[in-house]
Structure 1
């Protein structure tokens, strides 16, 4: 008898359904799964039998969710719901600080809240481009860019890098790589401290090697299923190597990291940029940025479009370099 009493809660937990959310469609169909988010008129539902599916919000009759959700309604601030219960056609019952039945048409966004302390959250992207030309000159160019973020508890590890190589008529004309690692320690839901190091090498530039070591505070404005926005300020020590010598100086930098999912997670808009202000008279600032759009073909494949802008201003003049990358990638 004692063994049965002890095993009953375990068996009850194992028997509980993993996919607790249910969506009833206007045509009478019913789908079970896990609500990922609602945004832009599309509900993303993760199912066990068909992966993630997108459902037009206007095609939903009612729904039910047993997990907490951040809910936004037209003309109102966001509110927390502990549960959503099915109601009449075109309606849903919101159970939170107070219980009320509202029209589905008035709800514009549903996002599961993320806790500050998360255990082993890993995400990243890897994009690649290959450009081959065969005319009077034979030119081959390929580029690989990637980034990864791993979070556990109040710690976050950010790793980013890129590799580029170009040959023309059998001779290498461009060969460079960059690798950056940042370690963040969160003190609250929004504030953290970052320490990082970046190494870059280029065999065809005047400065063949560059190393930046920096540290400073950061602010996380938001980080949820829809995306994130971080702003970081750092004090850096920069060291440059060139043929015949080296150069070292301090700098201040401001960096942002932005990502936003659109069209029910099908599209991903992202931007990363850093503004460096060196403590030398020869250079006013260095601006390095990228802006891109990824189209999610499935749960892991991406079609990416990337625009890069690098700008340096010194002695009253500015020089800019622009790069475009169209290619395939993977995400996790």
Structure 2
């Protein structure tokens, strides 16, 4: 019975580990191809988890599952399977069959439902702080972000929700939601349009809306990290019980992430500097940076990423209001 069960499990698991990679030094690795992007091939193995292989170190490879093959630009061609060929070559089998140099392949990704070529990643952070002494304090906070990239388009959605109750009285209640849409003009240059809205029950300005657009430049975005720099022209509207204020701003935003220590430890930094076009406010700075330890990871697949993170957060503004 044990032999029969083991044989059945091996039959069921076989399709998950049907990909093979041959290296230039003669080594051979078996596993499941997760993604090729940024010159790195992510291969999930039984014996070492997910490993990253430099694309230039691969001699040839094979895969029995469908993959989207991108050579240049943003167009993909679907292959039903890849077969090993000569040194530095691979045999693509699909609607048509041909041999392709590995150096011409820029991305490999398994097709997904709806948007076949999408890449999806995100983070979710949760905080719960309960104190019971001379003051009873219950504080909780949720913060998350996700991004989906397909073809020339990239969607970014982020949100934050915070609430604090002290001695049965609410002292903090705010939320913020932001959506950005990027259209890539080249491999690096893109144009962004976004909208942001937030509310805070206990601040002088209880509601703010920001609509902006402008160019951005992607220095890199691969399995090891990303670095984006975006400049925007924005229209800001602040609302309060006293008065409303609308004005224009120019902003510069930075988005940086880098994996360290065997891809488990992540350093990240996000910052946005806004220069309002009014005399009352000199600048507005919103930034955060920190380290995140990734308990599990995903990129380009439909599952979750849990993390333990530490980050200081800086928010500041300088005014000339007297």
Structure 1 length-normalised TM: 0.67
The answer as to whether partners of 1:129 and 1:143 remain within 8 angstroms in 2 is: yes
5+ residue gaps, structure 2: 1-14, 63-68, 70-83, 90-104, 109-114, 298-304
**Residue of structure 2 equivalent to 1:66:** 61
CA contact (8 A) 2:17 2:31 kept: no
What's the CA shift for 1:124?
0.7
Q: 1:34 to 1:114 in 2, by over 3 A?
A: closer
* Structure 1 residue 113: Cα displacement: 4.7
Contact 1:237 1:248 in 2 (8 A): yes
- 1:19 counterpart residue number: 19
Closer, same or farther in 2 for the Cα pair 1:16/1:254, shift >3 Å?
A: closer
8 Å contact from structure 1 (residues 147, 161) kept in 2 = yes
Mapped partners of 2:261, 2:116: distance in 1: 26
In structure 2, relative to structure 1, the CA distance for the partners of 1:33 and 1:17 (3 Å cut) is closer
- The answer on whether the counterparts of 2:126 and 2:140 sit within 8 Å (CA) in structure 1 is yes
Alignment map for 1:41-56 (pairs within 5 Å): 45-47=43-45, 49=46, 52-53=49-50
Match of 2:159 among 161, 177, 183: 161
Query: Which structure 1 residue ranges, 5 or more long, are not aligned?
Result: 1-14, 38-42, 56-61, 69-84, 86-93, 97-111, 318-332
Q: Distance in 2 between matches of 1:271 and 1:197?
A: 21
C-alpha change, 1:34 and 1:51, in structure 2 (3 Å) is farther
Q: 1:240 is matched with which residue?
A: 238
- Partners of 1:298 and 1:186 lie apart in 2 by 29
Number of aligned residue pairs: 255
Distance 1:316 1:118 in 2: 53
- 1:307 aligns with 312
Q: CA deviation at 1:36?
A: 7.0
Is this contact kept in 1: 2:17–2:30, CA < 8 A? no
CA RMSD of aligned residues (A): 3.8
Using the alignment, how far apart are the partners of 1:173 and 1:17 within structure 2? Answer: 53
Aligned partner of 1:285 in structure 2 is: 283
The answer to whether the 8 A contact 1:150-1:158 is kept is yes
Residue 188 of structure 2 is matched in structure 1 by 190
Correspondence 1:77-96 to 2 at 5 A: 95=88
> Deviation digits for residues 173-200 of structure 1, max 9, x if unmatched?
0000000000110010000100000001
- 1:204 corresponds to 2:202: yes
